[in-house]
Amino acid sequence: MEKTVSASDRPEQPGRRRVLGFLVGSGVMASFVSFVYPILSFVLPPQSGELDADTVAAKVNELAANSAKIFRMGNRPGILVRTADGDYRAFSAVCTHLNCTVQYRQREHDIWCACHNGVYNLQGAVVSGPPPKPLEQFEVHARGQDLVVTRESRT
Ligand code: FES
């Protein structure tokens, strides 16, 4: 007589179950991390340590009067303006409206955001357009032949 084998008659294979459980758990965890990490990277601000460092924005005689240049300050752009009077001003070049990069307009002597026509004066204050706040202003110092930009809040 032939005997049928039921599931309860089979020998237990705990090692195999443990391996399968580990693989399934690892897959679920990897999926969760790959889903959450980009969201957290977008929502949380980047480390600001780099922004606190001195940044060489230009050489002393690099900019003519009434001109400007975009420089990299940490992981963000900054804008160094040499006014028509020869003074230097430095700001974050990130528009406070929706984060477009601003530019200097020589004819108007102002800082302009092309995205939505936001205008800032050379103190960084909003003149017109949608930006809700002034541009963050930085200090500019000459150090040898370099123009060094630092955050004003640093003491
Ligand atoms: S992003 Fe600059 S005005 Fe909108």
Could you report the per-residue pLDDT of 64-116, keeping only the tens digit for each? 999 999 999 988 999 999 999 999 999 999 999 999 999 999 999 999 999 99
CA–CA gap between residue 74 and residue 58 (Å, rounded) = 15
Q: Ligand 1 site: residues with CB under 6 angstroms?
A: 95, 97-98, 100, 113, 115-116, 118, 129-131
Half-sphere exposure of 116 (CA within 13 A, CB side): 12
Q: What is the pLDDT of residues 15-51, one digit of tens each?
A: 888 888 899 988 899 888 888 888 877 777 655 544 5
What is the value of pTM for the model shown? 0.68
> Could you tell me the distance, in angstroms and rounded to a whole number, from the CA of residue 117 to the centre of ligand 1?
7
pLDDT confidence of residue 46 = 59
The confidence score (pLDDT) of residue 122 equals 97
